[in-house]
Amino acid sequence: MRASKQDTSLNERDALQDMLNVEKQLMGFYAQALTEGNSKAFRKHIFDCYADGAETQFHVYEQMLARGYYTVQTAEKSAVEEKAHFFGKVEKELDPVQA
């Protein structure tokens, strides 16, 4: 059985999700290249690519959010405060100046 173009094409939601996934993956590659780069010119170029990728990723996210394809769960204020307190303690434990 032959698949038609309609059977093999992505709908808008799937296409945007695929774009978002690719941008997230690129961000990881740029972060790794940035940490492993050994010249200022290379690191500057990768940092610029990282910044552009972050903007693209956020734009795709905004499009998904506007179309109702991506939902954000609102956090309770107490949950945010609890996490802030927890990570504040972790930060103090990791900071050799404050320890």
**Is pLDDT at 92 greater than 90 in this prediction?**
no
What predicted TM-score, i.e. pTM, was given to this entire model?
Answer: 0.66
User: pLDDT over 70 for what percent of the chain?
Assistant: 90
Task: Supply 34's token pair.
Answer: 């940035």
pLDDT at position 3, please? 61
Whole-angstrom distance, CA of residue 36 vs CA of residue 80: 33
The mean per-residue pLDDT over the stretch 8-35 comes to: 93
- One-letter identity of residue 8: T
pLDDT at 9: 79
Please report the pLDDT score of residue 63 as a whole number.
Answer: 96
**Structural contact between residues 79 and 46, judged by C-beta atoms closer than 8 angstroms:** no
The Cα–Cα gap between 50 and 42 comes to 12
* Pairwise pLDDT comparison (39 vs 8), residue with the higher score: 39
Q: What is the pLDDT of residue 1?
A: 55
What are the sequence ranges of the domains in the chain? 10-73
Dump pLDDT digits (tens) for 39-85. Answer: 999 999 999 999 999 999 999 999 999 999 988 888 899 989 999 99
Nearest of 25, 78, 23, 31 to residue 55 by alpha carbon: 23
